[in-house]
Amino acid sequence: MVCPVGAVKADLTIAPMDFLPAQASPPRRLWDIFCQVIDNHGDIGVCWRLAADLAARGQRVRLWCDDASALAWMAPPATRSRDIELLGWPAQAPGNGGASGGVGDVVIEAFGCEIPPAWAAAIAQAARERPRPPVWINLEYLSAEGYVERCHRLPSPIQSGPAQGLTRWFFYPGFTERTGGLLREGGLAARQQAFDRQAWRARLGIASRALAVSLFCYEPPALAELVAQLRQHGPAHLLVAPGRAAQALQRLPAVQDTAGLALHLLPYVSQPQFDEMLWACDLNLVRGEDSLVRALWAGQPLVWNIYPQHDDAHHAKLHAFLDWLDAPASLRRFHLLWNGVQAGSPLPLPSTGVLAEWRACVHAARQSLLQRKDLLTQLLGFVEEKS
Ligand SMILES: Cc1cn([C@H]2C[C@H](O)[C@@H](COP(=O)(O)OP(=O)(O)O[C@H]3O[C@@H](C)[C@H](O)[C@@H](O)[C@H]3O)O2)c(=O)[nH]c1=O
Q: What pLDDT, on a 0 to 100 scale, did the predictor assign at position 346?
A: 73
Per-residue pLDDT tens for 308-359?
Answer: 998 888 999 999 999 999 999 999 999 999 999 987 777 778 898 999 999 9
- Tell me the chain's radius of gyration from C-alpha atoms: 22
**Confidence (pLDDT) at 12:** 45
CA of 3 to the centre of ligand 1 (A): 31
The catalytic residue among 140, 289, 290, 374 is 289
**pLDDT confidence band for 362 (50 / 70 / 90):** very high
Domains and CATH numbers, the chain: 26-181+373-386 (3.40.50), 188-370 (3.40.50)
Cβ pair 44, 37 in contact under 8 A? yes
pLDDT tens, position by position, 189-242 = 999 999 999 999 999 999 999 999 999 999 999 999 999 999 988 799 999 999
Using the predicted structure, report yes or no on whether residue 257 has a pLDDT greater than 60.
Answer: no
Mean pLDDT of the chain: 91
> What does the alpha-carbon distance between residue 41 and residue 161 come to, in Å, rounded to a whole number?
32
Task: Respond yes or no: is residue 289 known to be catalytic.
Answer: yes
Name the pLDDT band for 256 (thresholds 50, 70, 90). Answer: low
Evaluate whether ipTM surpasses 0.95. yes
Side chain identity at residue 63, one-letter code: L
Residue scoring higher pLDDT (68 or 13): 68
42 lines ligand 1 (CB under 6 A): yes
Instruction: Let me know if 276 is a catalytic residue.
Output: no
Query: Per 3-state DSSP, what percentage of the chain is helix, strand, and coil (rounded to 5)?
Result: 40, 15, 45
HSE-up (13 A, CA, CB side) for residue 141: 15
Q: Is 288 in the pocket of ligand 1 (CB under 6 A)?
A: yes
Q: How confident is the model at residue 185 (pLDDT cuts 50, 70, 90)?
A: very high
pTM of the model: 0.93
Q: What is the best residue among 183, 270, 291, 303 to mutate for testing ligand 1's pocket, by most ligand atoms within 8 Å of CB?
A: 291
Whose Cα sits closest to atom 19 in ligand 1? 42
Q: Is 6 a residue whose pLDDT tops 80?
A: no
Name 156's bridge partners. 168
Closest CA to 91 of 67, 112, 64: 64
11: pLDDT strictly greater than 70: no
Q: What is the pLDDT of residue 95?
A: 72
- Render 58-94 in DSSP notation, one character per residue: T-EEEEEES--TTHHHHS-GGGS-TTEEEE---SSPP
Q: 142: CA distance to ligand 1 center in Å?
A: 13
* Paired residues of 237 in beta bridges: 212, 262
Distance CA 84, CA 79 (A): 11
